Chains A and B, each alone.
Chain A
Amino acid sequence: AQKITQTQPGMFVQEKEAVTLDCTYDTSDQSYGLFWYKQPSSGEMIFLIYQGSYDEQNATEGRYSLNFQKARKSANLVISASQLGDSAMYFCAMRDLSNTGNQFYFGTGTSLTVIP
């Protein structure tokens, strides 16, 4: 069963507007972490933001915030005030934080294009 689902293969946003990238996940673990990574056309994976399953507050990092809704098993990324440099692929990922969890599970990604 797919652990991470990103249903938006491509998104467009006007420069300076906000955009939400969707991510839903599936796990029976009690303790897990949710992550977002950015992959620009140059190919590297850049860590953006992290949310722990027991964190009560939604994570924020500058223009990035994570809209965490545990009951709905969703962890959407919100980018405020979009910039042209935000155009990239965005991957949602989950990691089991128990002693047995060794790997990240990644979604298939969302391609974001910021329009000037």
Chain B
Amino acid sequence: NAGVMQNPRHLVRRRGQEARLRCSPMKGHSHVYWYRQLPEEGLKFMVYLQKENIIDESGMPKERFSAEFPKEGPSILRIQQVVRGDSAAYFCASSPTRDRGGYTFGSGTRLTVV
């Protein structure tokens, strides 16, 4: 009964490279949310996806960031041409429906851009 699985736990990228962060939701969960946590701050919403659909991307930066949740496989958060300011912890959460309760977070991916 695995929880939300994120990998890698730690990712180091040089400026200009691409970062791919993966999130496998809990079994039976078809709703995925991505959040970003900058140092010394709370989590900030980025994007909400259901299988094959982006429902709400109001928190995504306009450039270089994209997210997908294909029919098969994990959800991917992709950051192209990373810059130092992208260094943060990226959390994924999932829920079985767009329900009223809380949802389960993964352990996060800590991205460091050098």
Contact = CB atoms under 8 A, between A and B. Distances in A.
B57 to A, nearest CB: 10
Interface stretch (B11-19, B42-50, B62-70, B72-80): B42-50
Given A43-B89, A43-B108, A44-B107, A106 B102 contact: no
Contact of A45 (B43, B44, B48, B98): B43
B59 interface: yes
A91 B42 contact: yes
Contact of A106 (B42, B48, B107): B42
Interface residues of B, number: 26
Contact of B108 (A4, A44, A91): A44
A88 B111 CA distance: 21
B100 A47 contact: no
A108 B107 contact: no
Interface string A89-116: 0010101010000111111110000000
Contacts of A102: 33, 45, 48, 55-56, 58, 98
Interface residues of A, number: 24
Q: Would you call the interface of chain A mostly helix, strand, loop, or mixed?
A: strand
B33 A4 contact: no
A103 B48 contact: yes
A44 B93 CA distance: 11
A68 interface: no
B55 A108 contact: no
A42 B107 CA distance: 8
A43 B98 CA distance: 25
Select the residue from B48, B102, B108 with max chain A CB neighbours within 10 A. Answer: B102
